[in-house]
Amino acid sequence: MEERIVYLSPSTQEFNIGYGDYGTEEYRMNRITDIVERILKEQGYTVHRNNPNDSLSAVVRESNSIGPDIHVSLHSNASGQGYSAQGPEIFANRPNTAGDRLANFIYDEIMKIYPDQSKGRGVLYTSSLYEIIRTNAPAVLLEVAFHDNPEDANWIMNNENAIAQAVVTGINNYFNALANG
């Protein structure tokens, strides 16, 4: 297998507290990223990862200096509007790009395991999320689900391995599609 380099960037938002026993967004996304990193390395990927103490600009500078094939950021969402918002969503910079293709592969896998297909929010495009627009590699930012929604928070806590495996499968599908033209 040709070397495939992945930069993983779990949330550094240590003050975003989830519902119940969720803990912080930073804590929970780092737990999932631990699993993603282990699986990718077992599969022969070269994996780099952010330092949770770094600023977002430092994370982007490090990713850009490494020059990975892809940059994957893992987050959980918060609506701030009670418990009504639910479901996964993923951000890319714009349609019909490598980042868009990566986003779709990861999102498709997450939706296979998310319990309510009607709540998925899809692939969204941004011109303002710093980590997406400033990273040189194709970059995505996955919002796994809403940590301030009891159902979503519990789903994330109870499915860390499945979520990590879905992210890995999406990454594999992206690279397989590239290899197959």
User: Tens digit of pLDDT for each residue in 26-51?
Assistant: 999 999 999 999 999 999 999 999 99
The pLDDT value recorded for residue 1 is 60
pLDDT in tens, 60-110: 999 999 999 999 999 999 987 666 789 999 999 999 999 999 999 999 999
CA dihedral 14, 38, 123, 155 (to 10 degrees): -60
The pLDDT value recorded for residue 81 is 65
- Taking alpha carbons only, the member of 71, 72, 70, 111 closest to residue 89 is 111
pLDDT in tens, 138-180: 999 999 999 999 999 999 999 999 999 999 999 999 999 998 8
Out of 3.40.720.10, 3.60.15.10, 3.40.630.40, 3.40.50.10490, which CATH number does the structure's domain 5-179 have?
Answer: 3.40.630.40
The pLDDT value recorded for residue 80 is 73
**pTM for the full model?**
0.96
Helix axes 160-179 and 98-113, enclosed angle (nearest 10): 140
| DSSP one-letter string for 19-36 | STT--BHHHHHHHHHHHH
Q: What is the DSSP letter of 147?
A: T
Give domain limits for the chain: 5-179
Contact between residue 142 and residue 129 where contact means Cβ atoms under 8 Å apart: no
Distance between the two ends of the chain, CA-based, in angstroms? 16
Enumerate the H helices of 43-159 as residue ranges. Answer: 56-66, 98-113, 130-133, 150-158
Six token digits for residue 83: 């418990």
Write down the residue that tokens 């040709």 correspond to.
Answer: 2
